[in-house]
Amino acid sequence: MRNNPIWQKLTELAQQAERKKLNHLWQNPNHHQSMVFEFEDLYLDLSKNWLDKEAMNALCQLAEQAKLRPAIEDMFNGRIVNTTDQLPATHTELRDPNNPNYKHNVQNLFTLADQVTSGQVKTAFGKQVKQLVNIGIGGSYLGPRLVVEALTELQSESHIPVYFAASVDDSLINQLFKSIDIEHSLFCISSKSFSTVETLMNARAIQTKLKQIQGYQPDQQQSSLMAITANTNRALEVGIPEHMILPFDSSIGGRFSLWSSIGFPIVLAAGKDQFKALLAGAHLMDQHYQQQPFESNLPVLMALVSIWYRNFIGLSAYSCLPYDARLRSLPKWLQQLMMESTGKMHNVDGKVIDYPTSPWVFGDHGQLSQHAFFQAFHQGVDALPLDFIGVLEHNSPSQDFLLFNLIAQGAALMQGKEEDHSMKGCPGNKPSTTLLLRNMSAKSVGQLLAMYEHMIYTQSVIWNINCFDQPGVELGKAIARDIQEHVENDSLNAMALDPSTMALIKKVTESK
């Protein structure tokens, strides 16, 4: 890839010093106007980046050369894009009201939601469901939690509070038990494979706790457990009643699955209308991604900016900074979406690549971040791409204060400040992107999340990698299972482990 002419041209452009000087770029009176883009509820300002139209045009040529347009059509037309598992990626079908999978998914979700909210579904204590506990990790946790936090103030129907359990840490599970009314709780085991160790450990802890409570009588009519999975047989084997299982297709990747039955907690917490609006917003972005030229295509532009910094400027980190507490889980969701999807060293042909892919992704609520790691942004030696995210419409003076902070941080990073005492000065010339949502509606949130999903897919096409597999995730888990088995069988010495790892294992076992 490094040898193709467009890649070489971009390398040369990135080496031109004036392109990394914001004050030079802003000498062009049309710079701001040429780097601002709008679609529906999103306003994207790229003008504070080390990037001009010449570089952006070359990046668009790179996308064309990578055959991004046919790749987009392949995904939306259900062709195989997950080459590792030989599967299509069908998450966008669940957002298209003209697709049969959309109607089937919504019907399944809404039918069970109506049964729960109407009192037709009873817990194993014979009680009405008053709260849901979602037991899942990764994509079965991060997406639903993000959307529940974003939308629970918008419910138009009676809603059921949702709690989330992801870690196998006993202290967190015990804390959860103290926070909920167990007899009125429905425990939802969300796992695509229904074999994720952490999720099943938590599920067993829940079952153990339930059995200790007087009056617990699970049967096919009354159950405190339900499941969301692509492996319904496995859920049936562990005793989940069939009518309490919400399936989804194996062609839907876990980190792209919040639109599927994995989104059941969203339906209960925010209501059916909000869930449909979420899907509608995402579908609008799907259409934009398919139809809009690369030069004004929001997901493509976001991907190209990221590739510019990662491959040509040489920056290895990326930060997501929402200035609204309702989006506080967005950085964690994006962290998994980007790093698990594009943190790859092999291309789709299985060959080792010679260029970097996913940056290190981190972030937090913007104002909290100002008092945590912004010092390094302003006076640290390194620079990195930042996404400042704000919400325009609100009913709170404090939200204006947050937006003014968002705007001020972008300005301060760009402008800097000279001081007589050099230690107080900030050099400026630090890049950032500003992304504003018109409001915190389900439709706006759907557009935002779908935009980031398509940004990731665009990156993967240009990098020639598969963004729908995650083989590296399994290695550590496999070793952990081996260690556990050898410890239980008192055969640890049979493992071929380094002295440091062996000493650490012995430290743990001897401490019991």
Is 332 in the active site? no
The answer to whether residues 337 and 329 touch, using CB atoms and an 8 Å cutoff, is no
pLDDT for res 383 = 93
pLDDT for res 158 = 62
Looking at the structure, tell me whether residues 300 and 194 fall in a common domain. Answer: no
Among 183, 198, 340, 453, the one annotated catalytic: 340
Cα dihedral 299, 369, 332, 226 sign: negative
- pLDDT(504) > 80: yes
- pLDDT(490) > 70: yes
DSSP structural state of residue 52 = -
Where residue 421 falls among pLDDT bands split at 50, 70, 90?
A: low
CB atoms closer than 10 angstroms to residue 87? 18
Q: How far apart are CA 383 and CA 375, in angstroms?
A: 12
Is 477 in the active site? yes
Looking at the structure, tell me whether residues 339 and 438 fall in a common domain. Answer: yes
Q: What is the pTM of this model?
A: 0.95
CB under 8 A, 24+ apart: contacts of 28-31: 28/52
Task: Answer yes or no: is 249 within a domain.
Answer: yes
The strand pairing partners of 227, in sequence order, are 189, 245
Task: Answer yes or no: is 282 within a domain.
Answer: no
Task: Answer yes or no: is 76 within a domain.
Answer: no
Of 207 and 255, the structure prediction assigns the larger pLDDT to 255
Sequential DSSP letters for 8-47: HHHHHHHT-GGGG-HHHHTTSTTHHHHTEEEETTEEEE-T
Among 67, 211, 477, 506, the one annotated catalytic: 477
Rg (CA), the chain: 24
Q: How far apart are CA 394 and CA 407, in angstroms?
A: 16
pLDDT for res 453 = 98
Residue 452 exposed, middle or buried by CB count within 10 Å (0-12, 13-18, 19+): buried
Q: How many domains does the chain have?
A: 3
Last residue of a domain, which of 224, 249, 277? 277
Distances (CA, A) of 201 to 124, 206, 243: 20, 9, 23
Looking at the structure, tell me whether residues 501 and 405 fall in a common domain. Answer: no
Last residue of a domain, which of 213, 248, 277? 277
Task: Answer yes or no: is 420 within a domain.
Answer: no
- Average pLDDT over the chain reads 93
The answer to whether residues 173 and 141 touch, using CB atoms and an 8 Å cutoff, is no
pLDDT for res 478 = 84
Looking at the structure, tell me whether residues 324 and 391 fall in a common domain. Answer: yes
Q: Give the CATH number for residue 255.
A: 3.40.50.10490
Q: How far is CA 315 from the centre of its chain?
A: 21
Task: Answer yes or no: is 79 within a domain.
Answer: no
- pLDDT(245) > 80: yes
Looking at the structure, tell me whether residues 502 and 443 fall in a common domain. Answer: no
The answer to whether residues 186 and 241 touch, using CB atoms and an 8 Å cutoff, is no
Among 355-369, 437-451, 458-472, 487-501, name the one with the lowest average pLDDT. 487-501
Q: How far apart are CA 143 and CA 139, in angstroms?
A: 6
- Could you tell me which of 158, 120, 130 has the C-alpha nearest to residue 243? 120
Looking at the structure, tell me whether residues 161 and 232 fall in a common domain. Answer: yes
Task: Answer yes or no: is 74 within a domain.
Answer: no
The answer to whether residues 403 and 388 touch, using CB atoms and an 8 Å cutoff, is no
Among 64-73, 221-230, 417-426, name the one with the lowest average pLDDT. 417-426
pLDDT for res 161 = 93
Residue 168 exposed, middle or buried by CB count within 10 Å (0-12, 13-18, 19+): middle
Tokens of 360: 């290190």
Looking at the structure, tell me whether residues 183 and 252 fall in a common domain. Answer: yes
Looking at the structure, tell me whether residues 271 and 356 fall in a common domain. Answer: no
Among 65-69, 159-163, 387-391, name the one with the lowest average pLDDT. 159-163
pLDDT for res 157 = 64
For residue 46, what are the domain limits?
A: 5-65+293-415+428-463
Looking at the structure, tell me whether residues 347 and 494 fall in a common domain. Answer: no
Looking at the structure, tell me whether residues 196 and 226 fall in a common domain. Answer: yes
Last residue of a domain, which of 248, 277, 306? 277
Among 153, 178, 371, 512, the one annotated catalytic: 371
- pLDDT(420) > 70: no
pLDDT digits (tens, 9 = 90+) for 338-388: 999 999 999 999 999 999 999 999 999 999 999 999 999 999 999 999 999
Is 21 in the active site? no
Task: Answer yes or no: is 77 within a domain.
Answer: no
Looking at the structure, tell me whether residues 168 and 244 fall in a common domain. Answer: yes
Looking at the structure, tell me whether residues 262 and 300 fall in a common domain. Answer: no
Task: Answer yes or no: is 286 within a domain.
Answer: no
The strand pairing partners of 133, in sequence order, are 163, 187
- The strand pair at 433-437 and 42-45 is best described as antiparallel
